[in-house]
Amino acid sequence: MKNNDREEERKKDPSLNIDSRFNQTLRSVQGLLKGRSFPGKVLLTRRSDPLDVSGLSEHSPGIERSHSENDLGPGENMDRSSEEEDHGAIKPPNSTTANRLKSSIPNIQNSSRESQKNTTGARATDSARVMKFKKELSGPTVILETLRELSWSGVPPYMRPNVWRLLLGYAPPNSDRRDGVLARKRLEYLECVSQYCDIPDTERSDEEINMLRQIAVDCPRTVPDVTFFQQAEVQKSLERVLYTWAIRHPASGYVQGINDLVTPFLVVFLSEHLEGSMENWSILDLTPQKISNIEADCYWCLSKLLDGMQDHYTFAQPGIQRLVFKLKELVRRIDEPVSRHMDEQGLEFLQFAFRWFNCLLIREIPFHLVTRLWDTYLAEGDALPDFLVYIFASFLLTWSDKLQKLDFQEMVMFLQHLPTQNWTHQELEMVLSRAYMWHTMFNSSPSHLAS
């Protein structure tokens, strides 16, 4: 009877299922930590609210998503006055990892049920973490490893532009050089636009004309359900950044999907100049000089990001194919039943995971969660491509039980239109926590994923 009562209670309160999954993951991490300490980027602990705030106090619980292939994105604000203690959903490492996990357990057990039900994902970054960021950013030289550890757990949105420039190596760690380097790089981008974009088609090759036309077709499809990205000037900015990047990277040229990768940068760097909800932004409120600087920052940050995964976008995209294979192997070792079911139904991982790697999950999760996810991406640095495998395995296995009940056609439809539209930061932190746990388990034995 007790089991039946508990089952009825779960049905009435869906948040209990989240609690159960969270506590199960927590116990797994505790098991890993028992009796030993190992380096890592995060600890799984619990806070009453999700880690980051994404302007959802200003734009309603998630922007309505269509099931378009071009869903994407960020757009966040935050309450900077919170005085919460530092026991976030995911935390950076230090030498007392196991002790910190133990000390967090009372906080987990006492977390508020009402806050767990909050679907907006809104939360202020606690003052302790903000002070750590401020201290690191205010010094004469930023220690990038420290900044990466802090950023892995989420960056306060108003600090995000500066932090992202530093994490990507676009802005130098030395504060005395920073303004000069940014001014020089922005001028270089402006010269590239003049050389490549501001010319008639008669001066372009047939290949360049076709590439520019494809970019012009893809830009209106980028985040189609967010009105801000439908502004003509926003699409022109995207075109200039993408075309300039493609011309200067002839080994790959423009590949569909790269248009998605510009949008987190565009929103983050625009947030330095535009206030309030992104729904109310107008790029026409900015001077041409500011627009040019924002485009330049997007261009250079996109270049830095893709430099670490060049073979993802060259002919046949071998880098993505390699990572899809690793994802399949990882899922097989973590969850053999769902792996076997997918095999029996004839579902190939390339049929759904290729888009995940190509667009870095931008089209799979709600718009307001993307920049939080990208904080972790950029904090990973050169290790990002391999860590994506663990994030995507965690993402896929969120629906392990569901997938095992579907046939081939149903699985294809389900994976193309995943039910993430109501996700909050809590679900995203769960994905990242599991990814860290599995990465810790498998990373010391990479040959397991090379068979």
User: For 23-52, how does the pLDDT look when each residue is reduced to its tens digit (9 = 90+)?
Assistant: 555 555 445 434 333 333 433 333 334 444
90 - beta bridge partners?
44
What 3-state class would DSSP assign to 420?
A: coil
Nearest to 359 by CA among 218, 231, 202: 218
Given this model, what pLDDT does residue 226 score?
Answer: 81
Q: pLDDT > 90: what percent of the chain? A: 64
> Residue 278: pLDDT above 70?
yes
Choose the weakest-confidence range: 55-59, 208-212, 267-271.
55-59
Q: Say how many Å lie between the first and final Cα of the chain, rounded.
A: 47
Question: Does 39 fall in a domain?
Answer: no
Token pair of 52 as six digits: 């980051």
- 22's CB contacts (< 8 A; 6+ apart) are 46, 430
Given this model, what pLDDT does residue 29 score?
Answer: 47
Domain that holds residue 257: 175-312
Question: Does 372 fall in a domain?
Answer: no
Question: Does 275 fall in a domain?
Answer: yes
Question: Does 267 fall in a domain?
Answer: yes
Q: What Rg do the C-alpha atoms of the chain give, in angstroms?
A: 22
State pLDDT tens for residues 335-388. Answer: 999 999 999 999 999 999 999 999 999 999 988 899 999 999 999 999 999 999
The Cα angle at residue 361 between residues 162 and 270, in degrees rounded to 5: 30
Question: Does 75 fall in a domain?
Answer: no
- 276's CB contacts (< 8 A; 6+ apart) are 58, 77
- 96 band by pLDDT with thresholds 50, 70 and 90: very low
44 - beta bridge partners?
90
Choose the weakest-confidence range: 88-97, 158-167, 224-233.
88-97
- 390's CB contacts (< 8 A; 6+ apart) are 330, 435, 436, 438, 439, 442
174 - beta bridge partners?
141
Nearest to 437 by CA among 52, 66, 84, 45: 45
What 3-state class would DSSP assign to 138?
A: helix
Higher pLDDT, 381 or 63: 381
> Residue 68: pLDDT above 80?
no
Domain count, the chain: 1
CATH of the domain at 276: 1.10.8.270
Count of Cβ atoms closer than 10 Å to residue 85 Cβ: 10
Residue 295's identity, in one-letter code, is E
- Which class for 208: exposed (0-12), middle (13-18), buried (19 or more C-beta within 10 A)? middle
Given this model, what pLDDT does residue 41 score?
Answer: 43
Q: Quick one: CA dihedral 331, 17, 86, 37, positive or negative?
A: negative
Q: 437 near 25, Cβ under 8 Å?
A: yes
Quote the pTM value.
0.75
Given this model, what pLDDT does residue 42 score?
Answer: 39
Distances (CA, A) of 31 to 44, 117, 369, 417, 433: 12, 28, 29, 35, 14
Rounded CA separation 227/220 (Å):
11
Given this model, what pLDDT does residue 353 score?
Answer: 97
Nearest to 120 by CA among 372, 424, 373: 424
Tokens 């490893």 belong to residue: 145
Question: Does 303 fall in a domain?
Answer: yes
Mean pLDDT of 311-338: 95
Given this model, what pLDDT does residue 253 score?
Answer: 93
Nearest to 396 by CA among 334, 343, 321: 334
For the residues of 229-288, what is the DSSP string, one character each? GGSHHHHHHHHHHHHHHHHH-TTT---TTHHHHHHHHHHHHHTTT--S-GGG--GGGS-H
- 76 band by pLDDT with thresholds 50, 70 and 90: very low
Q: What is the mean pLDDT of the chain?
A: 79
Tokens 């005395």 belong to residue: 176
Rounded CA separation 451/448 (Å):
7
> Residue 152: pLDDT above 90?
yes
Rounded CA separation 271/161 (Å):
8
- 19 band by pLDDT with thresholds 50, 70 and 90: low
State pLDDT tens for residues 417-443. Answer: 999 999 999 999 999 999 999 999 887
Query: What letter would DSSP give residue 52?
Result: -
What 3-state class would DSSP assign to 44?
A: strand
Question: Does 260 fall in a domain?
Answer: yes
Token pair of 48 as six digits: 């009453």
Rounded CA separation 80/123 (Å):
10
Mean pLDDT of 136-159: 96
Given this model, what pLDDT does residue 113 score?
Answer: 38
Question: Does 206 fall in a domain?
Answer: yes
